[in-house]
Amino acid sequence: MHEMAIVDNLMGAVREQIELHNLKRVHRVRIIAGELTGVVPEVLEFCWQICTENTPCQESELILISQPALALCSQCGKEYHFKQGFDYSCPLCGGGIKEVLSGKELYLDFIDGE
């Protein structure tokens, strides 16, 4: 359960934008979260609702875009999508993960407000 820590830091980043652009109200906030960040969408949403109470973000929509976990195969060098629940090996040759290319990112993409 590290969603509260994530939302706490997200709020900090949003607050910066609110001050920078002198926003009175935030309608939508979009974040990009890689599949490997372990973010549970329902928990994140719950934390967001609690943390935004009595702030310009109250009742705003939190949009979570998931980024696939892509890896470079250690054997054939091809890029493949590995996911929890599978055995993580390359579907083409059965090789393992040489390098994770994406899936660890966690960033604030945009905010929509006035």
Residues of this chain that interact with another protein (CB under 8 A) are 1-2, 5-6, 9-10, 12-13, 17, 21, 23, 31, 36-38, 74, 82, 84, 87-89, 95-98, 100, 104-114
Name which of 49 and 74 has its Cβ closer to another protein.
74
Q: Annotate 13-53 with DSSP letters as a single string.
A: HHHHHHHHTT-S-EEEEEEEEEGGG---HHHHHHHHHHHTT
Judge whether 66 and 104 are in contact, CB under 8 Å. Answer: no
Q: How far is the CB of 74 from another protein (least distance, A)?
A: 5
Close Cβ partners of 93 (under 8 Å, ≥ 6 residues apart): 73, 75, 76, 78
Give least dist CB 46 to another protein, A. 16
Least distance (Å) between residue 91 CB and another protein: 12
Helix orientation angle between 3-20 and 41-51, rounded to the nearest 10 degrees = 50
Q: Which is nearer to another protein, 60 or 95 (CB)?
A: 95
Nearer to another protein, 66 or 110 (CB): 110
